[in-house]
Structure 1
Amino acid sequence: MTIRFGYGTNGLTDLRLDDALGLLADLGYDGVGLTLDHMHLDPLAPDLATRTRHVADRLGRLGLGVTIETGARYVLDPRRKHGPSLLDPDPEARAARTRLLLRAVDVAADLGAHAVHCFSGITPPETPPDTAWQRLTDALAPVLDAAARTGVPLAIEPEPGHLLATLSDFHHLRVLSGDPEPLGLTLDIGHCQCLEPAAPVDCVRAAAPWLRHVQIEDMRRGVHEHLPFGDGEIDFPPVLDALDALGDTGYRGLTVVELPRHSHAGPELARASIEFLRDRIPSKSSKRATPCR
């Protein structure tokens, strides 16, 4: 098996970070999707470098890989969910989001992370599409420079309702940005079920050349609600088979369970999730023909 499973700390917000990491290691996870937030490695609090070194030591002792996620709801603005975004009409507000991503790249480099995840944000009212795309490319340019400098790729996520909502939108950004090498993709399997025209398994295969991070959960068609496994409509064995095959193409990142609204049951869902996923990975031996005797 080449899939390396992780669990997102945004689904373990009732636990201290040290406790969450210990729980995931005990359950047999390979890594963690670490959301920089006020309760877990606050990117805006003092002594970030010292706290990052502590987390790096903890990850190393537990043998956990890490991807840095930047989807904290109120880390920049206590009144606006995910605000300000990279599309904000105010240039200084956009710059605040860019600075957060730059800090995330530095944290990721210090932790030896596989990638830094981000998303575009929702297009503000009365903003022409061309203006929104220009804001996005301009705001990401210094982040991509930092990603190139540190060797930590930026993995932008198509998010339902955002400017960059689909795989097609990701490729539009690639073209507008000049197809920079550090620009990669976060593929959320539930989002594929929610709104992509192709099936999730086909999305995995289509995304493979640009894939830098994977998120996974159950979901229903047309409804953007992250669900525990078995509560949605996704047929997981073929999806996991396709994810497993990514190892043959060079993907070494994590596949992170993403249940940000289930922290109240986080420890139990972390246990149930990894059991569900491992039970549904097709056996390698079942794919090979039985040798003649």
Structure 2
Amino acid sequence: MAVRRGFVTQVGMGYEEAFARADEYGLDFVELMMDGAHERTRLDPEAVRESATDHDLDLLVHLPFALDIASPFEHVREGALRELLAAIETAVDCGAEKGVVHASTSAWSAAWDPQELRPNLFETVRELDEFARSHDFAVCVENVPGDFLPAGSFPDLFEATEARMTLDTGHARMNGLGSGEMADLLTTHGDRVSHIHLNDTRKPADEHLPFGSGTIDFERVLEPLSEGWAGTLSLEAFTTEWSYIETSVDHLDALLA
């Protein structure tokens, strides 16, 4: 499996230390969360690029959270799109090659049916993907928990757009997919899954445990990618304790050996 490995930064992690730790742990990239302290207007792209280069690391980004790209309200949706396009420009200036965006909406669920809003999502994703490709950047749409567009419905997105997917394993489990069903998704659509968030859990909850601490059968999940897949794997643990990241890297490397 010709994969590259990295981790997603968390609130409270500065990018300089994140690059230094990733280098120390022998990783290939850092996935920088572009929210909070690392929101686009707070970043110095030249400094970020230089820090990544100094540590011989690639850069991915997680684009801002909670921007409603499927809103039923035109101006809300347009504003979310504009902000994401600006974030992509900043990410490219930082040297990033791909970015994760959530397939979600904050529309009032009592009033709006997910099926009614999915076309809005697909249209926004098409615009993001077209813009990204023109900047040699990849948009990878992430499955999030809930009924709007769970992992099992991503073939609809594949049919409607050219965008790639970020498979979040914990989110998929929350929507009822077991390890075998995640493997089946990758068997059928591995060519469209460019990125995977290794979100480990003990139960159908968004636990984001250190990798290897949960009960997802990652050997089974990743088995379909054993040959010919050249995507990226991000450890995503909700921690600022670096020893847990290091332990996660050790468990991942043992699995990939």
TM range (shorter): 0.7 to 0.9
Partner of 1:262 in structure 2?
239
Residues 18 and 30 of structure 2 are in contact (CA less than 8 Å); yes or no, is this contact kept in structure 1?
no
Distance 1:108 1:206 in 2: 30
Aligned residue identity for 1:30: D
Partner of 2:100 in structure 1?
117
1:157 corresponds to 2:142 = yes
Partner of 1:17 in structure 2?
15
Specify which of 33, 44, 52 is matched with residue 41 of structure 2.
44
Aligned residue identity for 1:192: A
> Do the aligned partners of residues 130 and 281 (structure 1) sit closer, same or farther apart at CA in structure 2, a change above 3 Å counting?
closer
Partner of 1:219 in structure 2?
201
Equivalenced residue count is 253
Partner of 2:191 in structure 1?
209
Aligned residue identity for 2:27: Y
Distance 1:170 1:200 in 2: 12
1:139 corresponds to 2:136 = no
Q: Cα offset for 1:120?
A: 1.9
Partner of 2:55 in structure 1?
62
> Do the aligned partners of residues 5 and 219 (structure 1) sit closer, same or farther apart at CA in structure 2, a change above 3 Å counting?
same
Distance 1:201 1:171 in 2: 14
Q: Cα offset for 1:241?
A: 4.5
Distance 2:13 2:126 in 1: 35
How high is the sequence identity, in percent, across the aligned residues?
Answer: 23
The correspondence of residues 271-286 of structure 1 with structure 2, limited to 5 A, is 271-282=246-257
**Deviation per residue, 1:132-189 (Å, 9 max, x gap):** 112212333331220231121211011111511124x2221233x3x43xx1111123
Q: Cα offset for 1:223?
A: 2.6
Partner of 2:177 in structure 1?
196
Give the number of the structure whose alpha-carbon radius of gyration is greater. 1
Partner of 1:92 in structure 2?
75
Residues 70 and 77 of structure 2 are in contact (CA less than 8 Å); yes or no, is this contact kept in structure 1?
yes
Bigger mean CA deviation after superposition, 55-64 or 118-127? 118-127
TM-score (norm 2): 0.87
Residues 98 and 137 of structure 2 are in contact (CA less than 8 Å); yes or no, is this contact kept in structure 1?
yes
Q: CA RMSD in A?
A: 2.3
Distance 1:121 1:32 in 2: 24
5+ residue gaps, structure 1, are 73-81, 283-293
Residues 3 and 243 of structure 1 are in contact (CA less than 8 Å); yes or no, is this contact kept in structure 2?
no
Q: Secondary structure at the match of 2:78?
A: helix
Distance 1:213 1:155 in 2: 7
Distance 1:6 1:243 in 2: 17
Residues 36 and 69 of structure 1 are in contact (CA less than 8 Å); yes or no, is this contact kept in structure 2?
yes
Q: Secondary structure at the match of 2:127?
A: helix
Residues 150 and 172 of structure 2 are in contact (CA less than 8 Å); yes or no, is this contact kept in structure 1?
no
Q: Cα offset for 1:115?
A: 1.6
Q: Secondary structure at the match of 2:207?
A: strand
In the TM superposition, structure 1's runs of 4+ consecutive aligned residues that sit over 6 Å from their partners are none
1:101 corresponds to 2:84 = yes
Distance 2:114 2:189 in 1: 24
Q: Cα offset for 1:240?
A: 4.4
Q: Cα offset for 1:270?
A: 1.1
> Do the aligned partners of residues 137 and 280 (structure 1) sit closer, same or farther apart at CA in structure 2, a change above 3 Å counting?
closer
Q: Secondary structure at the match of 1:213?
A: strand
Distance 1:199 1:219 in 2: 16
